[in-house]
Structure 1
């Protein structure tokens, strides 16, 4: 699906971003804003269906020299490996930022009602897929600066959100993601690997995934543009000393047993 000759990237010094899950919502907004900043972008979609990726091509189509599109289905290890293999083949590739944005919320998913398959689907999409994608990237020789996992305050263990009826599988998958990425950061430190691992809470963002009817009032809803503008600044402000930490789009870090978005 990559239609851009690698030669177009020769002698370019732009920051390179990999956006996994870029066909809509927050991921698509990352592509839009990064193109405006004249960054180099490697964007992924899950399906080969051109209609599904039309919004992404609408953003990238006017500047194919700085945005490449690949297939990466995080529910398939083979698809992840194939994507990473294609990246390895790009000469002199250096990745500054990876944003693992792919995720799912099927509402409701109550612990007292959800099926085995439905619970597993949330875990595979929100936890296992992103972690394995990061793992495969880290196992290459590609220099990687920062890997960002899109998390949620719903996965907070320190600030249980009891009002969120019907979010059990989703919250559990994000809590598992938070723990796994903390272990990943610690493991990298033990290997003297300077790749920074971060979790981000994007805020209550008005996207297709969040377009559900819930019996409580959701406060502070923001647009994808507001969320991504803020998150880019937060992501770029973090150093190796922050690896394994969880930040909100408002640049607030969680501490044990305090605040929204605790790991």
Structure 2
């Protein structure tokens, strides 16, 4: 049994105010006319393009202000949508840096508050979404995916650094694996995946773009890659960590 985007009727994209999440919403609206979308954003001033999309697709797109790191807000959303069934849920929320936070180059820069904040944003959101929205997942089959990062792979780590970000993504990957196992035990027809989007030109990566030797993708390219990866995937592939090019990444 396979997950197919053409069979989807309802999608929920978390963290769609800008970046990759916004790109996913745009492509779904433009290329999959049968899908209605609920898209969340945290800050209105960072979600102007998403709000413009709402004007273009008023019947197919609903935008919702939501801070996904607040359990009570996710719970409230779930309570308001008890009759909703989602064929597709994608969490694209992520944090690498702020004005006060930068990736650590070495142990001397390790900061407990930074570590806890990255765990809170990068790792905690996904199990909260699964906890409250599990009953909303379609059995037709459905898909629950999270945007992760290759730097969260323990086996692939050859250069070190970025303690908090790497650890938060490694934790996220473990959580995705656990969720996949639990859903299988409950005989849910739901594909659960962690997806590495590749290096993408976003606010998250902008300070580091010039230093990388990796291929740099624009957000619409990354969004398209992610949707291509999940489309037509077999349910037996649940619990995998996949790269933007379709390859499997070691944990």
TM over 0.5: yes
Tell me how many residue pairs correspond in the alignment.
236
Stretches of structure 1 that go unaligned for 5 or more consecutive residues are 1-12, 255-261
Match of residue 124, structure 1, among 120, 127, 140: 120
Deviations 1:106-129 (A, max 9, x none): 122356223211110000000011
Q: Which residue of 1 aligns with 2:149?
A: 152
Moved over 6 A (4+): none
Distance 2:185 2:46 in 1: 41
**Residue 70 in 1 paired to residue 61 in 2?**
no
**Residue 32 in 1 paired to residue 26 in 2?**
yes
Deviations 1:213-244 (A, max 9, x none): 47843321111111111211111121210110
Higher relative contact order (CA 8 A, sep 6+): 2
**Residue 207 in 1 paired to residue 178 in 2?**
no
Higher helix share: 2
- Comparing 70-79 and 208-217, the one that deviates more: 208-217
Q: CA RMSD in A?
A: 1.9
Q: With structure 1 as the length reference, what TM-score do the two structures score?
A: 0.84
Q: Which residue of 2 aligns with 1:97?
A: 88
Distance 1:55 1:214 in 2: 23
Stretches of structure 2 that go unaligned for 5 or more consecutive residues are 1-6
Q: Which residue of 2 aligns with 1:223?
A: 218
Deviations 1:16-67 (A, max 9, x none): 21100000000111111111022211100113xx333211111221111000
Q: Which residue of 2 aligns with 1:80?
A: 74
CA 1:60–1:161: 2 relative to 1, 3 Å = farther
Distance 1:218 1:142 in 2: 39
Q: With structure 2 as the length reference, what TM-score do the two structures score?
A: 0.88
